[in-house]
Amino acid sequence: MTKTREIKRRNFIKKVSAVSMGITLQVPSHHFSGKKKNSTVRIGIIGTGNRGSHLLKLLMGIQDVEIVSLCDINQMNLDNAVNICVNAGRKRPDGYFKDEYSYKELLDREDIDAVIIATYWESHTPIALYAMEQGKYPGVEVPAAITLEQCWDLVNTSEKTGIPCMMLENWSFRKDNLAVLNMIRKGLLGDMVHCHCAHSHDCIDHWFFDANDGSQRWAAKYLINYNRDQYPTHSLGPVLSWMDINCGDTIAEIYSVSTASRGINAYMKRKFGVDHPNARQVFKQGDIVTSTLKTKQGKTIIINYDMQLPRPYDNRWMVQGTLGIYNEQRGSVYLTGKSPEYHEWEPFPPYEEKYLHRWWKNTINSSEGHGGVDMLELKLFVDAVRNKTNTPVDVYDSVTMSAVVPLSGLSIEKNQPVDFPDFTRGKWEGRKPYFAL
């Protein structure tokens, strides 16, 4: 590291450390203000496949964002992403694709403020760690980590360097989920007691396997080698703020159970015949994993992993308090003293509009990724980078969501509850809610 670069890095750390280290106690509300900024945020993207290219297109739609460089081990993906920039009339970004460590060349540059990481799961943490060490904000696709060691590495490195680290969990920013958060904070549901959430999404023919020939895609290896909740963050994302996890409460233990693995083999036989290799392949991953989480303050959370059986998409959010209940599947609420007598459900949409979160009062184009959610999330991340403030989802929440991956596997293996680490090291007791204030 050059002397000039080291000085720049130290000055940057001084500016952000008061905020990012302060997140262990209390974090100010940082949000996308919609105001024009003078400074340009310079971004690199590592991983330019489907997800990375999607985020690239959105970032180019944010004012005062410059795409400086791109990196991918697949040159075809990289060339496609470069062409996206050029065809949009943007300056041609530099490309890195030599090998799996080329991301370090990108992050060694002095003209980058932040990086979007949209690579394979196992590389998310190593790249984010290197980014923080070089003074760059990492925006990490989900999950941010897949082992407990990686979770602690992210926390320790963020605290040591003073660089915020954000997992890009977009479902935390949904219009409906933020309206529910507003209702909870205004006391309409009373004290929170219990929550159910799920990621119910048949991903056999696009995430895990090729729809045309049934061959294994990159994520299939996780189904062969592990039995756990492989993808808990979409389920748990909004729940953390609903239940004040890491800000007044913390998860104490997790107990996970799994069904047998039937769905993948059944799909392969049905679609490609009994002689297809994956019709006979042994998969460790059970079809449905159910995890029960208990908090220090006596709340419970149920998480379902359900990604291998035929079904429509569903998140099955339900949050219940001492004064009422919200049910996403029904699109309904019941509130004591407000809903009709005899415990009848009320439609949720009028409440969603009444308690619309201010983030959604800005102009959001519903065509910009998952109904505008991805664009909102990226704008908030960019705004944090621009202002050198903490990210809208902090490192503690990022690793708490991610830790369900290894812990659910450990609980299934032991067939017993296991302790859930306190990534805040006890500071959850004094931390105030910070998300989406």
Q: Do the Cβ atoms of 345 and 333 come closer than 8 Å?
A: yes
Render each residue's pLDDT in the chain as its tens digit; 437 residues.
444 444 444 444 444 444 433 443 333 333 333 444 459 999 999 999 999 999 999 999 999 999 999 999 999 999 999 999 999 999 999 999 999 999 999 999 999 999 999 999 999 999 999 999 999 999 999 999 999 999 999 999 999 999 999 999 999 999 999 999 999 999 999 999 999 999 999 999 999 999 999 999 999 999 999 999 999 999 999 999 999 999 999 999 999 999 999 999 999 999 999 999 999 999 999 999 999 999 999 999 999 999 999 999 999 999 999 999 999 999 999 999 999 877 899 999 999 999 999 999 876 666 667 889 999 999 999 999 999 999 999 999 999 999 999 999 999 999 999 999 999 999 999 999 999 99
Taking residue 281's Cβ as centre, other Cβ atoms within 10 Å add up to 15
Neighbours of 128 (CB within 10 A): 31
Query: What single string gives the DSSP state of each residue in 215-233?
Result: -B-TTHHHHHH--S-S--H
The pTM is what?
Answer: 0.91
Query: In angstroms, rounded to a whole number, what is the distance separating the alpha carbons of residues 389 and 32?
Result: 11
pLDDT tens for 149-201 read 999 999 999 999 999 999 999 999 999 999 999 999 999 999 999 999 999 99
The one-character DSSP state at 428 is: G
Asked whether the beta carbons of 203 and 135 are under 8 A apart, the reply is no
> Which domains does the chain possess?
3-169 (3.40.50.720), 172-359+394-429 (3.30.360.10)
CB 293 within 8 Å of CB 253:
yes
Spatial distance between the Cα atoms of 394 and 30, rounded to a whole number of angstroms: 11
Q: State how far the Cα of 374 lies from the Cα of 233, in Å rounded to an integer.
A: 15
For residue 411, the tally of other CB atoms under 10 A from its CB is 25
Q: Please enumerate in sequence order all residues whose Cβ is within 8 A of that of 309, keeping only pairs 6 or more positions apart, or say none.
A: 202, 263, 287, 288
Q: What would the DSSP string read from start to end of 60-114? A: TTSTTEEEEEEE-S-HHHHHHHHHHHHHTTPPPPEEE-SSTTTHHHHHT-SS-SE
Residue 181 CA to residue 356 CA, distance in Å, equals 10
- Decide: 336 and 187 in contact? Cβ < 8 Å: no
- Strand positions, DSSP E, 315-391: 318-321, 324-327, 332-335, 346-347
| Residues 41, 380: Cα–Cα separation, whole Å | 12
